[in-house]
Structure 1
Amino acid sequence: MNILQNENLIIESSSSGAELTRIFSKKHNRNILWDGNKKHWGRQSPILFPIVGKLLDNETIIEENLYNMTQHGFARDMDFEIANKGDAFISYSLTSNESTLKKYPYYFELLINYTLNDDSINIEWIVKNTDSKDIFFSIGGHPAFNLPFYEQDDFSKYYLEFKGGNNVEKINLNGSFTDDTKFIGDLKRLQLNPELFKNDALIYTNIDEVSIYNDKDSERLTISMKNFPLVGIWTPYYSETNSTAPFLCIEPWYGLADSIHSNKIYTDKKFINKLGKGKVFTASYSIDIH
């Protein structure tokens, strides 16, 4: 594990998947990030690339050839190199290779950068097109935060506050795939309860910021993702007990699962990103612990 720390925070990350594996708040004396207990979910903050969500039949057609890729893509299961490291930052790199080309026929370099600030972590993604043509990709984050903040609290004592535009849409899921879209308008607040997650994740467009609040406490966690097209909100739901896992994922996305009506053509996917030869895509979001 690679460790960065300051007066307020300790963060750890791994070369395996370039995954953030720990956020510890010295101020609150608690772990902010989920511990990866496989009883509920064995990951903590995987990088989703070059797809977000699932492909129909785990298949996609790129330049008339059929490729197989499992949910959320291959980056989360690959070893990254440490490209750079300092007292307050670390940079991981994944370069296209024989293994990736069998699943995704583009040449690229993917950089994942973590920077530790006073009370926050900045996560930056850089995709470099090293191919001789345009490339297409999706990318997303999937950080899981311990919820409740304190063991004695109930999941339903928490709510989310949103900041963003007044043209928010909710994209509904049918199983693992996207279906219809509902216009929400101005989304400000959402009281949490387990049944929200009966049909898997909540997916919204045009959200710049999501904060997790407790009804009785001033402590909050804010995920800022200005200009991101999508955010997913997810926790496993257990129907037999009408309960959830003890964490909540706030997931900034530049990409989306296949539609139930997908034609499987990769470049036709909704929210797909096109990157010209020699061009660089950059996006970043932050996690603030208040």
Structure 2
Amino acid sequence: MIRIDIKKELHGSTGKMNLDVNVEIKNGDFVALAGVSGSGKTTLLRILSGLENAEGTLKIDNELWLDKNVFLPPQKRKIGFVFQDYALFPNMNVLDNLLYVKKDKELAYYLLGITDLSQLAKRFPNSLSGGQKQRVSLCRALMNKPKLLLMDEPLSALDPHLRTKLQNEILQLHKEFKTTTIMVSHDPSEIYRLSNRVIVLNQGEIIKDGLAKDVLLKTSGSAKFSLEGELLEITKVDVIYVAIVAIGQQIVEVIISSEEASTLKIGQKVNVSTKAFAPMLRQN
């Protein structure tokens, strides 16, 4: 069990704010941290890892990592950290990057085998693709069989196809090593696919906490689906107004009323929802 009860003053996206998180996480859970940029997600990971200090307490099972008298340094916390920018040692080959954490060649080659990296063991990071570097980073984070695996948007720089492949590998490794995992992500499909619990932060506080479906599902009332996107353009075709909306990697057209055309603004976030076969557009 991970018990987190911490406070820290931050400078967020709208000025000063207080990170105030009091939550318990079960061993073996895969928790996704979501929320707008500047809400405190990455800072929370850094506090858990020991890269930043805070007021309060942090306890993993029966081991105290943080309180008013204790601050366990990162190297003494049994954690793995997967950074967005890989953070590999450029002067070490793939195998040596893993062995730097723990001199266990059997485990290193086992991890490289699971992630299809065995043939690249002697290659250096500058010769690897982004996806390969992220695999190495993930393997290195698991070399000491951590109690807690922390990931800060680990797949955000990858294309959708590669993201899906690595998501499957992350889930496989999470289950096999029975590691408690906390991941920061802005990708709803990634959160839904990987996590069994979603915690949403806003201005340093938890505003939602539950199953991915309950937290992420945007439909309401009798709407059959609802997708969030960005309004790119409004055009008039004869007497009909058409909104061009970017949803993820796709661009869609939605017919709107003249009143909606006059009130909607290019660049704003909108929800595209439908009842049966009649799409509707409303301001987010």
TM-score with structure 2 length normalisation?
0.27
Q: Which structure has the larger Rg? A: 2
Q: Which has the higher strand share?
A: 1
Q: Which has the higher helix share?
A: 2
